[in-house]
Amino acid sequence: MDKDLQGKTALVTGAASGIGRAVALLYGQHGAKVMVSDIDEEQGRQVVAKLKAAGAEARFFKADVGDPAQCYRLVQETVAAFGTLDMACNNAGITGELSRTADYSLDGWQRIINVNLNSVFFCLKYELEVMLKQGAGSIINMSSILGQVGTPTLAGYVTAKHGVIGLTQTAAQEYAAEGIRINAVGPGYIDTPLLKDFSAETKQALVALHPIGRLGRAEEVAELVIWLSSNKASFVTGSYYPVDGGYLAR
């Protein structure tokens, strides 16, 4: 494995499971020191143990990304532990309520926007403060194919993921000249615990929406995140990259 991220530091939210876990593990394989963050402490600590067993330096910090104070402390803890913050993947997210727009509860709406959109702003804000002082950094915000198109019963999720792309494009322009790159990634349906409430029938119907003929794997998303994080993507900023088995090409 190419240790092209040796000596660099990375922060990943939602890193106890699915895509975030795969991103954290791949950062480690590329030589980075990794701050694993999640609300699930037990699973998060297992990811740290796996990283350490593979020879990487890693820590866990429990943070609910829906709370700006916890996002602030997460960034501070990362810098205190590793000295810098070179790369961040703002990945934590939930599906939220499944209902048509008129039936969507007010509480459910506030919650999905807070966990999937406000959280990205909170993390980005505090990560940028550190990266501006360093004069360098690379941030990847986890959007979705549903950051580009709508789908019934997921109004809150779709709105939040569209917002993540707009936020990414805006911040990328603001900080491009100061050495900070900011990009968004848009996975198609990936077989992770996020889909645990979907029936086998629904999953089969989702497969049919991907010309490649299957759901994605978390590791396939992680490969894109690591590339965007690295200097190999030195001219890439403000972009939205789908990794979706052809979903958006239909």
Active site members: 157
Distance CA 164, CA 183 (A): 10
- List Cα–Cα distances, 36 to 40, 74, 96, 179, in angstroms: 11, 10, 23, 24
Of 12, 155, 167, 190, the residue at the interface with ligand NAP (CB under 6 A) is 190
Distance CA 105, CA 25 (A): 37
Give the interface size with ligand NAP as a residue count (CB under 6 A): 27
138 binds ligand NAP (CB under 6 A): no
Residues contacting residue 110 through CB under 8 Å, at least 6 positions apart: none
Interface of this chain with ligand NAP, residues 211 to 250, rule: CB under 6 A: none
Q: What is the CA radius of gyration of the chain?
A: 17
Distance CA 123, CA 67 (A): 10
207 binds ligand NAP (CB under 6 A): no
Q: Helices marked H in 83-114 — which ranges?
A: 106-113
104 vs 122 by CB, closer to ligand NAP? 122
123 binds ligand NAP (CB under 6 A): no
57 binds ligand NAP (CB under 6 A): no
Of 81, 94, 98, 136, the residue at the interface with ligand NAP (CB under 6 A) is 94
Which of these segments, 2-10, 35-43, 48-56, 225-233, binds ligand NAP (CB under 6 A)?
35-43
Count Cβ atoms within 10 A of the Cβ of residue 4 and give its class: 0-12 exposed, 13-18 middle, 19 or more buried. middle
Which of these segments, 14-22, 45-53, 224-232, 235-243, binds ligand NAP (CB under 6 A)?
14-22
Residue 195 contacts residue 203 (beta carbons within 8 Å): yes
158 vs 171 by CB, closer to ligand NAP? 158
Which of these segments, 10-18, 45-53, 73-81, 167-175, binds ligand NAP (CB under 6 A)?
10-18
Q: Which helix (H) or strand (E) holds 10?
A: strand 9-13
Q: What's the closest the beta carbon of residue 220 comes to ligand NAP, in angstroms?
A: 11
Which of these segments, 28-36, 63-71, 122-130, 168-176, binds ligand NAP (CB under 6 A)?
63-71
Phi-psi region of 103 (alpha: psi -120 to 50; beta: other; left: phi over 0): alpha
| Residues that bind ligand NAP in the complex, under the rule CB under 6 A | 13-14, 16-20, 38-40, 64-66, 91-94, 115, 142, 144, 187, 189-190, 192-195
